[in-house]
C-alpha cells in the first residue's frame, strides 16, 4: 500500500532551518546525514516519532528563489502543519519573536494562522474544529 513517509520544505539555510523547526516550532530531529555539500536533514513531530518526516531540503536550485519569493509576496504558505490550539501557538511563537503575516483566522471548519519560517517560506498552522 502506498503511504506518505516524507515531505519537503525548501530552506535557504539548513542549520537555521533545523534551529527554527526544532527550537521554535517544536519538531524533533530524526536524520542528519552529510550528503555532498548539504545534509539529508529531517525532523518529525514528537507525537509521531515514527510518522512522516519533514525534509529540510536546500533551496539551491536557481528556480527555487523566485518561486519562493513569489509565494511569500502573495502570502501563500508553502505547506501547513496541524496544531492543537492555533491561538496558543500564535501567542507562544509571537512572544518568541516569530513573524506572523496572518493572525489566527476562523475559516469555517478550521482556524489558521501563517508564519514566516525565516528560511524563505510562509508556513500555515491549522487547528481543525472538533
Partner 1 sequence: MDAVDAVFRAIGDPTRRAILDELTDRDGQTLFEICTRLAMKHGLTSSRQAISQHLAVLEEARLVHTRREGRYKFHHLDTTPLRSILERWPIREQS
**Using CB under 8 A as the criterion, which residues of the chain lie in contact with partner 1 when the complex forms?**
69, 72-77, 101-103, 105, 107-108, 112, 114
Closest distance of CB 33 from partner 1, Å: 31
Q: Is the Cβ of residue 43 or residue 119 nearer to partner 1 in the bound state? A: 119
Per the listing, cell 519562493 goes with 68
Q: What is the per-residue DSSP string for 20-31?
A: IIIIIT--EEEE
**Residue 84: strand, helix, or coil:** coil
How many C-beta neighbours within 10 Å does residue 14 have?
Answer: 18
Closest distance of CB 124 from partner 1, Å: 9
Closest distance of CB 123 from partner 1, Å: 12
Amino acid at each position: 500500500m502506498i503511504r506518505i513517509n516524507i515531505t519537503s520544505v525548501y530552506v535557504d539555510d539548513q542549520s537555521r532551518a533545523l534551529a527554527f523547526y526544532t527550537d521554535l516550532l517544536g519538531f524533533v530531529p530524526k536524520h542528519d546525514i552529510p550528503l555532498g555539500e548539504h545534509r539529508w536533514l529531517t525532523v518529525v513531530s514528537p507525537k509521531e516519532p515514527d510518522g512522516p518526516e519533514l525534509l529540510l531540503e536546500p533551496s539551491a536550485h536557481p528556480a527555487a528563489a523566485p518561486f519562493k519569493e513569489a509565494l511569500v509576496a502573495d502570502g501563500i504558505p508553502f505547506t501547513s502543519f496541524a496544531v492543537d490550539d492555533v491561538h496558543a501557538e500564535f501567542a507562544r511563537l509571537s512572544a518568541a519573536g516569530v513573524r506572523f503575516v496572518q493572525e489566527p483566522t476562523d475559516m469555517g471548519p478550521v482556524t489558521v494562522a501563517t508564519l514566516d519560517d525565516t528560511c524563505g517560506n510562509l508556513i500555515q498552522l491549522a487547528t481543525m474544529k472538533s
